Amino acid sequence: MTQSVVVQVGQCGNQVGCRFWDLALREHAHVNKKGLYDEALSSFFRNAVLVDMEEGVVNEILQGPLREVFDSTQLLTDVSGSGNNWAVGHMTYGSAYREQIVDKLRKAVEHCDCLQCFFLIHSMGGGTGSGLGTRVLSLLEEEFPEVCRIVTSIYPSAEDDVITSPYNSVLAMRELTEHADCVLPIENQSLVDIVDKIKRMSHSGKPGLVIKRDSTIISGQGGLSGAEKPFDAMNNIVANLLLNITSEVADCSHLNTAQPSMSVGETTEAAKLMRASAEGMETYL
* pLDDT (tens digit per residue) in 168-207: 999 999 999 999 999 999 999 999 888 888 777 766 666 5
CA-to-CA dists, residue 227 to 82, 89, 197, 222, 236, angstroms: 28, 31, 21, 10, 14
Domain count, the chain: 1
- Phi and psi at 47, nearest 5°, equal -90, 60
Q: Are 154 and 176 in contact (CB under 8 A)?
A: no
Q: What is the pTM of this model?
A: 0.79
User: Is the predicted pLDDT of residue 266 greater than 60, yes or no?
Assistant: no
Cβ–Cβ under 8 Å, residues 129 and 165: no
Longest Cα pair distance anywhere in the chain, in angstroms?
Answer: 57
Please, which residues have CB within 8 angstroms of residue 68's CB and are 6 or more apart in sequence? 268, 271, 272, 274, 275
Structural domain that includes position 36: 3-284
pLDDT band at 53 (very low <50, low <70, confident <90, very high): very high
Whole-number percent of the chain with pLDDT over 70:
70
Please indicate whether residue 197 or residue 246 has the higher confidence score (pLDDT).
197
Read off the pLDDT band of 237 (50, 70, 90): confident
Answer for the pair 108, 5: CB distance below 8 angstroms, yes or no.
yes
Answer with the residue of higher pLDDT: 96 or 225. Answer: 96
Top-confidence residue, 68 or 152: 152
Q: How confident is the model at residue 252 (pLDDT cuts 50, 70, 90)?
A: very low
DSSP code string of 102-132 = HHHHHHHHHT-SSEEEEEEEEESSSHIIIII
pLDDT of residue 219 exceeding 70: no
User: Can you give the CATH number for the domain in which 56 is found?
Assistant: 3.40.50.1440
- Output the pLDDT for position 192: 87
What is the 8-class DSSP label of residue 80?
Answer: S
